[in-house]
Chain A
Amino acid sequence: MRPVREQNGQPWRAWLQAQSQKNPDPVLRDYYRRSVLDPVSAIGDTPLVALDFETSGLDPRRDVILSIGLVPFDLSQVYFSQRQQWLLRPPHNYDNESVAYHHITHTQALKAPRFESIYADLLNAIAGHLVVVHYHPIERGFLEQTIKGISNAQLRFPLIDTMAIEARRYRHGWRTRLRTLMGQTPVSIRLADSRRRYGLPNYEGHRAVVDALAGAELLQAQIQHHYKRSTPIGELWT
């Protein structure tokens, strides 16, 4: 069994337990209290939620979250009908004009709520679930940074990163070294390319909730191809 991944020198479980006691923000304390996941739990028995942020850029300190989509699922089924999505209004100090929205007008964005008024709903929706993302620095970095700006509290929890799972298979190990030796380009682990390897269809549009659906489907495929329902979540999370 792989070592259980850690956070600030503490195993994830201990971190989650500690935060449920001492986090200064009561909303976060409640989230942590409901989300103390056991690393030995089987992935097949764990409620999952796919999460995707659309952001104005890649840097959590400079850029902002534009929209959030989430879809609860487990290894048997993606509960798309229980999806949730939020369009967000950028913070006061943020220059609206520089935001390149994908699907929405600035007028729509100005009518949308700010993150601080929805984050309790967001945390309520993901509490008790193991969060699944594709390329975790975005969701983890932006959540942490944005919450810090609101309540000066720390939000950090274990995630399954479907890109990291692809990277383990296709970017490490002898196959990759062989490909490099042969002068071949490395296998792409972007969402659409990863999905294609498992026979998953191409989804257009890149709306947060559709990307979350795409991520959920990808994890179902990855587990069926490379893991078991009984694989402990501690082996998969980051």
Chain B
Amino acid sequence: MDPELTEIRRHLSGYPPFESLSDALLDEVADHIEVSYYRAGRQILSANQPIEALHYVRSGAVEVYRRTGDLFDRLGEGSLFGHYGLLRGQRVHYPALAIEDTLIYKIPRAVFDHLCEADDAFADFVELGRPRVDNTETRGQTSSLASTKVRKLVKNEPLIAKTTDTARQAAQHMATEPTAALLVVGESEDNPRYSYTGSDGALWQVMGIVTDADFRQKIVATGRSADTPIGEITNDQLFVIQSDETVQEAMLTMLRRNVHHLVVLHRRRPIGVVGLEDVVRFETQSSLYLIDNLLSQNTVAGLATLLTDVRQSAARMIREGADSRTVTTALSSIARSFMRRLIELAEAKLGPPPVPYAFIAMGSMARDEQTLVADQDNALVLDDAFDRALHDGYFLDLAKFVSDGLDACGYAYCKGEIMATNPRWRQPLSQWQDYFRSWIRSPAPEPLLHSNIFFDLDNIHGEERFVENLQDIISTQAAQSPEFLAAMARNALNRTPPIGFFRDFVMEKDGRQNNSINVKRRGTAPLTDLIRIHALACGSRAQNSFDRLKDIANTQLLGPGVADRLAYSLEVLSNTRLRHQVIDIDRGDEPDNNIEPEQVPDRERHEIKEAFRALSQAQKFLRFRYPKPSKNTPNQGRR
């Protein structure tokens, strides 16, 4: 490495995609840069001029424009531009202007080409604006007993005693720190498997552990002296587990051997002792345990106490890198279990229902996309034998019990009154069929705006067939109605994404800068709306947005790769939303959907910006794909 390049390398290596380049490639970049200064207000690149280099903002700020003159992006230190031009056509694609005094490092085309060839991550970054992924699942991994490493359960360094220490010394040692087990080591003897070099440089061998029970049974109960060497009361059977084994493996080992403590080894060095209670404590935060626990609650008050556990369980999954779909599916399953348990409790109180019914959920719960901020959207579909005068009292009580219970458990009342307590949404099946037929056949944008949530539909309890019947109507009729799709599309364009971030601000398309952004309203919600419309247009019966995108990808509706790009964008935005809710929880705030740019690291900023860009392009296509039909065009199937 050329020491003269240190200064330049150091700066480059602080920003994606250079941060992940090999040293050799980073040297090659630093070795070949050319440098230009631009005073504020000067044009850096003009449209259609030949482009010879990738531009890197070393200091200052740059605005990049579309050919139409619209602001495309505002870039600060460490950002790149010019790659679109280098990749396509070799001419400047987006003109660029220095908006502050700016220093640009230019990476010549030959080096750029070589980087694209030699480093896949670099190529993906400049070509796709994101890492290359085959499916969204690879982005994170499920958090569970089966995937968490046992080293996560090790909280403290092990307390270590020598075999020659007296029982008294050992007991005093254990009294200083809250631990249930003491690790006993002796001079290395016969078993190299458990031998390690201690911090004192000597060779030690793990002999076993001593627990409170051993003092009780082997010293006190037998009347032995407190001066007994601890080695004499150490369990001869040693059970160890490697630190990279899973928590599940630890639990199985304990069950199989009927022991309550395992020594955790990193290779041969002991790093701690894990007890059964550690595994149980871990398990109590998992969603499986939660669902089990909430199904055994007999009162609303009892259910409501689980809210903290729900949040902690989800927060843990998010911190451990689970992908958004895993987390939102878990949260949706938990919410369903809450609802089911509340319905069971209500029926126990109110008696059996007078006519069959289906309690249904809409919106994010139906899509399996709930986050830590969720309100309730539900309705009742009643058997057609329903007689309002006779039966509505029962169903109103049922609805109220469930809705109040959900609110008490952290699922706030729906502001739009989309709840079974609202008589409009507590109707017999035939009325629901009429609702859907009229929404689809004679759509008016405003009423649809309030009802598009009904196109995400899932049965929670009761007559599955009612819901299937309604889903049949949706999947067969929606695709046949261009007016309906056009009206839905129009509504889906009401909320648009910003451009991205610039320093600690959110950049709007008109150049305004804001301090925070509601990533649901400006990101996941419009994206979900858009996916729903394409899904309806191709007759998909899926509810989850990722499943819908898979169905859409099987048609010719979108260009090649577009569905993948949208899936990736949804994952990025959902993941960001979840992670910022965890930040809120960690700070002791009520979680919300806002994110503050200063809490978004550079790498994520880039991904989020690309996700917004994908959403923006998809919205443009939506407008074009589902135009408002003119009066005299005949209806066309839109598959």
| Residue positions of A touching B, CB distance < 8 A | 69, 73, 76-81, 83, 85, 103, 198-201, 203-205, 207, 209-210, 213, 216-217, 220-221, 224-225
The 3 closest A-B pairs by CB, nearest first: A199-B101, A78-B35, A220-B37
Shortest C-beta distance, A214 to chain B (Å), equals 9
A87 to B368, CA, bound (A): 66
- Pairwise interchain contact A203-B34, C-beta atoms closer than 8 A: no
- B39 to chain A: which residues have CB within 8 Å? 221, 224-225
Residues of the B chain whose Cβ atoms lie less than 8 Å from the Cβ of A80:
33-35
Partner of B37, one of A203, A207, A209, A224: A224
Cβ-closest chain A residue relative to B61: A199
24 A-B pairs with CB atoms under 8 Å apart are: A77-B34, A77-B106, A78-B34, A78-B35, A80-B33, A80-B34, A80-B35, A81-B31, A81-B33, A81-B34, A103-B3, A199-B100, A199-B102, A205-B6, A207-B3, A207-B4, A209-B4, A210-B4, A210-B7, A217-B103, A224-B38, A224-B39, A224-B42, A225-B39
A77 touches B35 (CB 8 A): yes
With A220-B36, A220-B37 known as contacts, the answer to whether A200 contacts B103 (CB < 8 A) is: yes
| B59 close to A199 (CB less than 8 A) | yes
Chain A nearest Cβ from B10, distance in angstroms? 8
With CB as the reference atom, state the residue of chain B lying closest to A208: B4
> Which among B33, B34, B103 is the interface contact of A201 at CB below 8 angstroms?
B103
Residue of B nearest to A81 (CB): B32
Structural contact, B101 and A217, CB atoms closer than 8 A: no
The complex places the Cα of A201 from the Cα of B11 at a distance, in Å, of 11
Bound complex: CA A207 to CA B102 (Å):
23
Which chain B positions have C-beta within 8 A of A76?
Answer: 36
Question: Is B261 part of the contact surface with A, judged by Cβ < 8 Å?
Answer: no
Decide if B17 is an interface residue (CB 8 Å cutoff). no
Bound Cα distance from A56 to B11, whole angstroms: 29
Binding site for A on B (CB under 8 A): 3-4, 6-7, 11, 31-40, 42, 58-60, 100-103, 106, 108
Q: A80-B33, A217-B103 are in contact. Are A201 and B42 (CB under 8 A)?
A: no
Question: B120: shortest Cβ distance to chain A, in Å?
Answer: 26
A106 and B318 alpha carbons, distance in the complex (Å): 55
Q: Closest A-chain residue to B111, C-beta based?
A: A81
A137 to chain B, nearest CB (A): 25
Give chain B nearest CB distance to A197 CB in angstroms.
9
- Which among B6, B11, B101 is the interface contact of A221 at CB below 8 angstroms? B101
Given contacts A69-B4, A81-B31, A201-B58, 15 further A-B contacts (CB under 8 A): A77-B34, A77-B36, A81-B34, A83-B4, A85-B4, A103-B3, A198-B37, A199-B102, A200-B59, A203-B7, A216-B35, A217-B103, A221-B101, A224-B37, A224-B39
List A contacts of B33 (CB < 8 A).
80-81
Cα separation A83 to B33 with both chains bound (whole Å) = 11
Contact check, A217 vs B37: say whether CB atoms are below 8 A apart. Answer: yes
Contacts of A73 in B (CB 8 A): 35
Specify which chain B residues have a CB less than 8 angstroms from the CB of A205 in the assembled complex.
6-7
From A83, A199, A209, B60 is in contact (CB under 8 Å) with A199
- Closest Cβ of chain A: how far from B75's Cβ, in Å? 15
Please tell me which one of the listed residues A79, A198, A209, A221 contacts residue B34 in the complex, with CB atoms under 8 A apart: A79
**Within 8 Å CB of B7, what residues of A?**
203-205, 210
CB distance from B44 to the nearest CB of A (A): 11
Task: Give A78 to B8 CA distance when docked, in angstroms.
Answer: 14
Which one of A79, A207, A224 has the greatest number of beta carbons of chain B within 10 Å? A224
Chain A residues with CB under 8 Å of B103's CB are: 199-201, 217
Q: Which residues of B contact A69 (CB under 8 A)?
A: 4
Choose among B4, B42, B101 the residue that contacts A198 (Cβ–Cβ < 8 A): B101
Contacting residues, chain A, for B42 (C-beta < 8 A)? 224
Report the nearest A residue to B6, measured CB to CB: A205
Determine if A213 and B35 form an interchain contact, defined as CB atoms under 8 angstroms apart.
Answer: yes
Instruction: Name the B residues within 8 Å of A198 (CB-CB).
Output: 37, 101
A214 to B, closest residue via Cβ: B7
Q: How far, in angstroms, from A221 to B34 measured CA to CA in the complex? A: 15
Q: Which residues of A contact B60 (CB under 8 A)?
A: 199
Looking across the interface, which residue of chain A has its beta carbon closest to that of B4? A209
In the bound complex, what is the Cα–Cα distance between A225 and B11 (angstroms)? 26
Q: Within 8 Å CB of B31, what residues of A? A: 81
Q: How many whole Å from A19's CB to the nearest CB in chain B? A: 32
Q: Please measure, in the bound complex, the distance between the C-alpha atom of A79 and the C-alpha atom of B59, giving whole angstroms.
A: 18
- Measured CA separation A115–B278 after assembly (Å): 71
Contacts of B38 in A (CB 8 A): 224
- B3 — which chain A residues lie within 8 A by C-beta? 103, 207
Complex CA gap A43/B4 in Å reads 28
Residues of A within 8 A of B35 (CB): 73, 77-78, 80, 213, 216-217
Residues of A within 8 A of B32 (CB): 81
- How many angstroms from the CA of A83 to the CA of B32 in the assembled complex? 10
Give Cα A21 to B457, complex, Å. 94
Residue on B nearest A78 in the bound complex, by CB: B35
Q: Please give, as numbers and ranges, the residues of chain B lying within 8 Å of A213 by CB-CB distance.
A: 35
Q: How many angstroms between the C-alpha atoms of A74 and B58 in the bound complex?
A: 19
What are the residues of chain B within 8 A of A216 when measuring CB–CB?
A: 35
Kindly state the separation between the CA atoms of A203 and B42 in the bound complex, as whole angstroms: 24
- Residues from chain B with Cβ under 8 Å of A200 in the complex: 37, 59, 101, 103
CB-CB nearest in chain B for A225: B39
By a CB distance below 8 angstroms, the chain B residues around A224 are 37-39, 42
Interface centre among B7, B34, B106 (most CB of A within 10 A): B7
CB nearest to A221 among chain B residues: B37
For the complex, give the distance between the alpha carbons of A213 and B59 in Å. 15
* Residues of B with C-beta under 8 A to A204: 7
Least distance between B30 CB and chain A CB atoms (Å): 9
A221: chain B residues within 8 A (beta carbon): 37, 39, 101
B11 CB contacts on chain A under 8 angstroms: 201
- Nearest CB of chain B from residue A169's CB, rounded to whole Å: 15
- Distance A200 CA – B34 CA, assembled complex (angstroms): 15
* CA distance in complex: A204, B9 (Å): 12
Q: Is the CB of A201 within 8 A of B59?
A: yes
Q: Report the minimal beta-carbon distance from A217 to chain B, rounded to whole angstroms.
A: 5
**Complex alpha-carbon distance, A78 and B33, angstroms:** 9
Tell me, rounded to whole Å, the shortest Cβ–Cβ distance linking A189 to chain B: 18
Which residues does chain A contribute within 8 Å of B102, judged by CB atoms? 199
How close is A52's CB to chain B, nearest CB, in angstroms? 11
Cross-chain contact B36 with A78 (CB below 8 angstroms): yes
Whole-angstrom distance between the Cβ of B28 and the nearest chain A Cβ: 11
Nearest chain-B residue to A210 (Cβ)? B7
- Separation in Å of the B58 CB from the closest CB of chain A? 6
Instruction: Kindly name the residue among B34, B35, B37, B42 whose own CB sees the greatest number of chain A CB atoms within 10 A.
Output: B37
Nearest CB in chain A to that of B42: its residue: A224
From residue B606, how far is it (CB to closest CB) to chain A in Å? 21
How far apart are A191's CB and chain B's nearest CB, in angstroms? 14
Q: Which residues of B contact A77 (CB under 8 A)?
A: 34-36, 106
Q: Which residue of chain B has its CB nearest to the CB of A200?
A: B103
What residues of chain A lie closer than 8 Å to B108, measured between beta carbons? 81
From A69, A199, A210, residue with most partner B Cβ within 10 Å: A199
